[in-house]
Amino acid sequence: MPLHVLVLGGTTEARRVAESLVALDGVRVTSSLAGRVAQPKLPPGEVRVGGFGGAEGMADWLRAHPVDAVIDATHPFAGTISFNAAAAAAAVHVPLLALRRPGWVPVEGDRWHVTDSLAGAAELLPGLGSRVFLTTGRMGLAAFAALDALWFLMRSVDAPEAPYPVRMEVLLDRGPFSLEGERELIRRHRIDVLVTKDSGGDATAPKLTAAREAGIPVVVVGRPPVPPGVPVAGTPEEALALLRTVTSG
């Protein structure tokens, strides 16, 4: 029987891992997507879409589709499924590893204000600016809905659902984004504060450079923790090497 690896995906890194696994002899890969994006980029190999029904549901799925290892390559802010995966893997006695791209690090000239939640970001905004470039995605906009005095440019892959700020323009777009494009957005919309999650990676990092050049503050929402005891890889290559280690027994 081939080694069956479940990749909890939806990220660029998850697709790269799936591509590498599919190319290996004796490996079967199934990628699981949350289904929150209307037209996701599908990875190679088998694909399932939708939730599992919590930790218990995921454990049942691991048993029903005999899985030998799980790679949690979800978005750094998809905290719930990561903890469900840890509980499910432990219940079924399947090795689990997490793939998390490195977070962003401020450099000279950055005016970062770090918080641990979207609600914390909303509390900071009135003292920092009035025209907000909001790049935290379409989920969680309720945290900013009461900020009637501020204007928002909200960018996401799919259209948001209420509740969200009344004074808001929606920009539907998918990264990667260029530095020139981010500069133009900030200039054209007269942005004076940026809000982002610490997603890491290169695809959306140019907005940080553009904000630094414009001298505007950036509210950065910090990441939730990886479940305790789960080994973490920073790149797809490290994840594959770690996978060989955890499945060698």
Within a domain: 107? no
Q: Give pLDDT, residue 157.
A: 87
One domain, residues 77 and 132: no
Q: What is the pLDDT of residues 9-29, one digit of tens each?
A: 988 899 999 999 999 999 999
One domain, residues 229 and 206: no
One domain, residues 63 and 36: yes
Residue among 8, 21, 30 at smallest CA distance from 86? 8
One domain, residues 80 and 120: no
Within a domain: 54? yes
One domain, residues 216 and 228: no
Percentage of the residues of the chain whose pLDDT score is greater than 90: 81
CATH code of the domain in which 75 resides: 3.40.50.720
Give CA separation, 139 vs 14, 90, 205, in Å: 21, 29, 20
| Cα angle 171-197-184, degrees, rounded to a multiple of 5 | 40
Q: What is the pLDDT of residues 165-178, one digit of tens each?
A: 999 999 999 888 99
SS3 at position 194? strand
One domain, residues 50 and 136: no
Look at the chain and report how many structural domains it folds into.
Answer: 2
Task: Calculate the CA 16 to chain-centre distance.
Answer: 15
Residue 114: CB partners within 8 Å, gap ≥ 6? 220, 221, 222
pTM of the predicted model, to two decimals?
Answer: 0.84
Tell how strand 232-233 and strand 46-49 pair up.
Answer: unpaired
Asked if 159 and 37 touch (Cβ cutoff 8 Å), the reply is no
One domain, residues 209 and 233: no
Residue among 163, 152, 100 at smallest CA distance from 126? 152
Count, residues in the chain: 249
Q: What is the pLDDT of residues 30-85, one digit of tens each?
A: 999 987 666 677 899 999 999 999 999 999 999 999 999 999 999 888 879 999 99
Residue 106: CB partners within 8 Å, gap ≥ 6? 112
One domain, residues 123 and 140: yes
Within a domain: 199? yes
Residue among 153, 148, 155 at smallest CA distance from 203? 155
Within a domain: 56? yes
One domain, residues 143 and 181: yes
Q: Kindly report the average pLDDT of the chain as a whole number.
A: 93
Within a domain: 86? yes
Q: DSSP secondary-structure letter at 192?
A: -
Q: Give pLDDT, residue 249.
A: 59
pLDDT at 203 over 90: no
Q: What is the pLDDT of residues 80-115, one digit of tens each?
A: 999 999 999 999 999 999 999 999 999 999 999 999
Q: Give pLDDT, residue 69.
A: 97
Domain with 22, as residue range(s), is 3-102+224-246
Element (H, E) at 54: helix 54-64
